Amino acid sequence: MIEIRAGVELPARREDIELHTADGLTLVGELSLPQDRDPVATIVALHPLPTAGGFMDSHIIRKAAARLPALADLAVLRFNFRGVSSPRGTSDGEFGDGIEERHDLAAAMDFVASRHLPHPWLLGWSFGTEVVLKYGREHPIDGAILLSPPLHRATTREVAAWSGDARRLVAVIPELDDYLRPAAAAERFAAVPEIELIPVAGGKHLWVGEAQTKRVLTEIVARLNPAALPLPETF
């Protein structure tokens, strides 16, 4: 019996993978699957801003891959955007300011299709939410979860385009966010009445600490496999 905290990595089938973009780049990543079962749904994780240190090991994404295959029967695909390095390696190319990353998302979704991974959801965190909002509607997804969306790059028109879309859109907004707090988020997303806005009391942009990590992972599992809740604290 182990306590599930911080750096704990639970059993899973983990595979180093490569993604190949339409503009000729190779991106490095990892696919994590339940150890002895098929996944019931799939997370495609898009990490925070590369120029501010975001990468596939940014802690919420790393912990989702470390825990959710075992705890919630979810597949987790995470990768480095173009030009980004991590212990897994370095993806080709250079930072595309949220524009060229359109190809990175497309390559990830091609991989999901090639592996027949079920019920894909996009999980964007900070900069990753911009890529989701700008280009997520181009792909066959069940929905998208936005963690700490700053709404710096996604235009008003790109946000409004989600109105009327059948795919679920969920935004988890920290009360103490550095860029977009709950009241402002309600205004900025007003054009999308279908969105689920989840304000998190005491939450911060980086979701530091086990309590905030567990809250975020719980919100993810509540959409992708609610039967797995509540998430256990030991394994």
Which residue range is the domain that position 192 belongs to?
13-228
For 32, phi and psi rounded to 5 degrees? -115, 130
DSSP 3-state of 29? strand
Distances (CA, A) of 175 to 68, 148, 179, 195: 25, 10, 10, 18
Is residue 161 in some structural domain? yes
DSSP 3-state of 40? coil
In single-letter form, the type of residue at position 10 comes to L
pLDDT at 82 over 90: yes
Is residue 205 in some structural domain? yes
- Of 3-12, 13-22, 168-177, 193-202, the one with minimum mean pLDDT is 3-12
Is residue 108 in some structural domain? yes
Omega within 30 of 0 (cis) for the link into 226: no
pLDDT at 54 over 90: yes
**Helix, strand counts (H, E) of the chain:** 6, 10
C-alpha–C-alpha distance, residues 194 and 190, integer Å: 9
Is residue 1 in some structural domain? no
pLDDT at 12 over 90: yes
Q: At 193, is the pLDDT very low, low, confident or very high (cuts 50, 70, 90)? A: very high
C-alpha–C-alpha distance, residues 41 and 108, integer Å: 15
Structurally, the chain folds into a number of domains equal to: 1
Q: What pLDDT score does 221 carry?
A: 98
Q: What pLDDT score does 1 carry?
A: 87
